[in-house]
């Protein structure tokens, strides 16, 4: 057995680099338990896998194969409202506890991918709270400064990751529970598109809004865990067969950013948080251009429905037998929050649904002009002393920029920005429509790297954002597009619907003519290869599609367009759009523009 020196923060690439040399994962397991003991925080875990069992799981792993088992030898933890066979599920309510005989499918997928479970973590009772201290057990201590709350409801999971005890941990997210603790502990929090990950085996808070979430030290690690869990579950009525393309290799050209306008920026008088968010936005704009200012008043109106509206009754429904027969077993604050459901009738519930539909219809128009929204993860950090003085107000404030997201069916990624001037971390959250998880990962990794910070409570620097592969992965087909399927143009949504992921922008070799075709819609270009040096270099974007999606996409292409092989300046030869020679008859030669995007811009300017 060859041991290894476990890095200060055990990222997946660092662990796998060591394992590739033949080093032993049992050393990593031993280090996880050693670090937990050294941290000496009894509030992090509610149940531990005995170290001997975790060591046995590591020893039982097959030959190191990070392709078929992408989480091989990676330690992780699970929030204690998610079932793991043989370990008690308490939801931080000891009188409710039971020991499941089946493991939640999402956790089972992680184990099948080679991850090693260390234990189950503390939480705000029944996942009701954003502060992380609504538990009858010792509350986890904030990993950066114990004077501050750790954030909830997934407090133990976030703290375990921030200390480098585990590489990643599962949380849940209904109103921000997968994002607020990440920001307060200087780590990444990934809230997937609703239904993308099976929720079977997870105790519900609001079943229509809940999702499992992932905490990790880096965006890449969070995304790797998410991808291992991703998939439709026919036995879960809330599961959806969503196309969730992987992170693109680069940021798509013309990516459009949005951020709250001045009237909707809320920092509650905290100048340090305000300055830190401004610095994060500056980093973001350096990466992807100026952010459009957006009115968030409608989003705040949606947020108000969650607790000051009938959705609190859904929390009541989740634990109705307890509320009606054993309310005394609940944490006092949890009981008080959920008891508010009594104010609402069935008619109120329908009125809330109608109001949400109205607001959602208006808000969805935002995506016509932006691709990603950036918001503070919370207005300002809250101290434990704040909670002693007021158990409700600080919690509500922490949800300012999180409570509306699941109601609107968006995905989210919380990443640390540049720290505040006092050294405490600050967080920025990226938001996008469902299915855009990969896009958020690509942008979030670059934003996290720009912070030039450290991971969690340790000294490991945030790694540089990997440029990612510029070629398709095995089993994918590369497709070069030249017209309205380019990023930001009218037909790009068709690629997204087929699960395509952006790879690279590259020109053709200088042997093509580009035409604006006559007839039909005004967005039809035609690319024709010509002899010798008679042509020009034309801008393309190369996307990757699974074979079945490629076939479905190609089947819808009308004449005189066709799919052929393009010769690109980078030496590659992907499939791509071409036009039949007869189709160019009577067309306008626009080769001089060098691409369809510049041609369209010239027409708009005229």
What is the distance between the alpha carbons of residues 81 and 355, in angstroms, rounded to a whole number? 31
For 166-312, strand residue ranges (E) read 168-173, 188-191, 211-216, 257-260, 291-294
pTM comes to 0.86
pLDDT at 518: 84
Mean pLDDT, residues 451-475 taken together: 84
pLDDT at 468: 54
Torsion of CA 195, 196, 201, 207, to 10 degrees: -20
pLDDT at 223: 97
Query: In the predicted model, is pLDDT for residue 65 greater than 80?
Result: yes
Query: In the predicted model, is pLDDT for residue 541 greater than 90?
Result: yes
What the block records as the tokens of 140 is: 């986890």
Q: What is the DSSP string of 176-190?
A: STTTHHHHHTTSEEE
Query: In the predicted model, is pLDDT for residue 3 greater than 60?
Result: no
Which residues, in sequence order, are bridge partners of residue 512?
529, 536
Q: Which positions are annotated as active-site residues?
A: 79, 153, 177
pLDDT at 182: 98
Q: Which domains does the chain have, with CATH numbers?
A: 28-58+71-247+264-297+360-450 (3.90.1300.10), 477-605 (3.10.490.10)
Mean pLDDT, residues 61-81 taken together: 96
Q: Which of 105-119, 384-398, 462-476 has the lowest mean pLDDT?
A: 462-476
Tens-place pLDDT, residues 315-348: 999 999 999 999 999 999 999 999 999 889 999 9
In sequence order, what are the residues at sequence separation of 6 or more whose Cβ sits closer than 8 angstroms to the Cβ of residue 266?
A: 376, 379, 400, 401
SS3 state at 286:
helix
What is the distance between the alpha carbons of residues 61 and 557, in angstroms, rounded to a whole number? 47
1 pLDDT band (50/70/90 cuts)?
very low
Mean pLDDT, residues 231-250 taken together: 90
Which residues, in sequence order, are bridge partners of residue 294?
260
Query: In the predicted model, is pLDDT for residue 389 greater than 60?
Result: yes
Query: In the predicted model, is pLDDT for residue 26 greater than 90?
Result: yes
Mean pLDDT, residues 52-59 taken together: 98
pLDDT at 325: 95
pLDDT at 172: 98
Tens-place pLDDT, residues 548-579: 999 999 998 888 999 999 999 888 899 999 99
Which residues, in sequence order, are bridge partners of residue 561?
579
Q: Which of 291, 290, 286, 294 is nearest to 447 (CA)?
A: 286
Tens-place pLDDT, residues 582-597: 888 889 999 999 999 8
Q: Please, are residues 326 and 290 in contact by the beta-carbon 8 Å criterion?
A: no
Mean pLDDT, residues 53-82 taken together: 96
Higher pLDDT, 285 or 247: 285
Helices (H), 40-71: 51-59
Tell the residue number behind the tokens 């299915």, with chain if given.
435
What is the distance between the alpha carbons of residues 157 and 118, in angstroms, rounded to a whole number? 11
Order of strands across the sheet that contains 211-216: 45-48, 116-121, 75-79, 168-173, 211-216, 188-191, 410-416, 427-433, 372-376, 257-260, 291-294
Mean pLDDT, residues 14-32 taken together: 94
Mean pLDDT, residues 242-250 taken together: 83
Tens-place pLDDT, residues 522-538: 668 999 998 766 789 99
Mean pLDDT, residues 501-514 taken together: 90
Q: How many CB atoms lie within 10 A of CB 270?
A: 14
The average confidence (pLDDT) of the chain is 93
Phi, psi of 470 (to 5 degrees): -95, 0
What is the distance between the alpha carbons of residues 526 and 579, in angstroms, rounded to a whole number? 5
422 pLDDT band (50/70/90 cuts)?
very high
What is the distance between the alpha carbons of residues 367 and 390, in angstroms, rounded to a whole number? 37
Query: In the predicted model, is pLDDT for residue 54 greater than 80?
Result: yes
What the block records as the tokens of 363 is: 């808000």
Q: Number of helices (H) and strands (E) in the chain: give both, helices first.
A: 19, 19
Q: Which of 128, 136, 122, 134 is nearest to 41 (CA)?
A: 122
């Amino acid at each position: 057995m060859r041991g290894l020196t476990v890095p200060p923060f055990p990222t997946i690439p660092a662990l796998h680099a060591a394992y590739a040399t033949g080093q032993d994962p049992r050393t990593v397991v031993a280090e996880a338990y050693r670090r937990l003991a050294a941290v000496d925080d009894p509030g992090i875990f509610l149940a531990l896998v005995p170290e001997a069992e975790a060591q046995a799981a590591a020893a039982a792993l097959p030959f190191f194969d990070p392709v078929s088992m992408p989480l091989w030898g990676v330690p992780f933890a699970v929030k204690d409202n998610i079932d793991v066979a043989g370990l008690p599920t308490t939801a931080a309510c000891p009188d409710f506890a039971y020991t499941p005989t089946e493991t939640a499918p999402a956790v089972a997928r992680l184990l099948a991918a080679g991850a090693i479970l260390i234990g189950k973590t503390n939480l705000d009772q029944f996942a009701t709270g954003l502060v992380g201290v609504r538990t009858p057990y010792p509350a986890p201590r904030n990993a950066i400064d114990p004077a501050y709350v750790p954030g909830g409801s997934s407090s133990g999971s976030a703290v375990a990751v921030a200390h480098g005890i585990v590489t990643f941990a599962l949380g849940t997210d209904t109103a921000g529970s997968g994002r607020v603790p990440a920001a307060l502990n200087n780590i990444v929090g990934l809230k997937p598109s609703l239904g993308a990950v099976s929720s079977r085996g997870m105790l519900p808070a609001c079943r229509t809004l809940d999702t499992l979430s992932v905490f990790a030290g880096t965006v890449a690690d969070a995304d790797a865990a998410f991808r291992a869990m991703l998939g439709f579950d026919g036995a879960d009525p809330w599961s959806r067969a969503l196309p969730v393309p992987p992170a693109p290799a680069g940021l798509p050209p013309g990516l459009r950013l949005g951020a709250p306008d001045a009237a909707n920026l809320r920092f509650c008088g905290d100048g340090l948080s305000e300055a830190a968010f401004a610095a994060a936005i500056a980093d973001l704009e350096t990466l992807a251009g100026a952010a459009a200012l957006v009115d968030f008043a409608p989003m705040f109106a949606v947020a108000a429905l969650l607790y000051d509206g009938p959705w609190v009754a859904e929390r009541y429904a989740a634990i109705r037998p307890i509320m009606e027969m054993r309310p005394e077993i609940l944490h006092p604050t949890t009981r008080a929050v959920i008891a508010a459901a009594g104010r609402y009738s069935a008619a109120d519930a329908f009125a809330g649904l109608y109001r949400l539909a109205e607001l959602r219809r208006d808000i969805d128009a935002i995506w016509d002009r932006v691709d990603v929204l950036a918001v503070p993860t919370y207005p300002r950090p809250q101290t434990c002393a704040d909670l002693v003085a007021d158990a409700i107000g600080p919690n509500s404030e922490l949800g300012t920029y999180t409570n509306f997201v699941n109601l609107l069916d968006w995905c989210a990624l919380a990443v640390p920005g540049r720290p505040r001037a006092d050294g405490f971390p600050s967080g920025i959250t990226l938001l996008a429509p469902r299915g855009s998880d990969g896009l958020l990962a690509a942008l979030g990794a670059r934003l996290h790297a720009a912070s030039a910070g450290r991971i969690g409570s340790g000294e490991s620097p945030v790694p540089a954002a990997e440029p990612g592969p510029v070629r398709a992965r095995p089993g994918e087909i590369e497709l070069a597009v030249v017209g309205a399927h380019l990023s930001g143009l009218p037909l790009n949504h068709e690629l997204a619907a087929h699960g395509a992921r952006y790879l690279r922008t590259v020109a053709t070799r200088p042997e093509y003519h580009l035409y604006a075709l006559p007839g039909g819609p005004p967005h039809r270009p035609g690319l024709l290869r010509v002899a010798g040096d008679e042509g020009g270099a034309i801008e393309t974007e190369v996307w990757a599609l699974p074979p079945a999606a490629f076939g479905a996409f190609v089947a819808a292409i009308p004449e005189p367009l066709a799919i052929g092989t393009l010769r690109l300046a980078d030496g590659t030869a992907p499939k791509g759009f071409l036009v039949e020679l007869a189709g160019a008859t009577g067309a306008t030669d626009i080769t001089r523009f060098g691409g369809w995007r510049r041609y369209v811009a010239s027409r708009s300017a005229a």
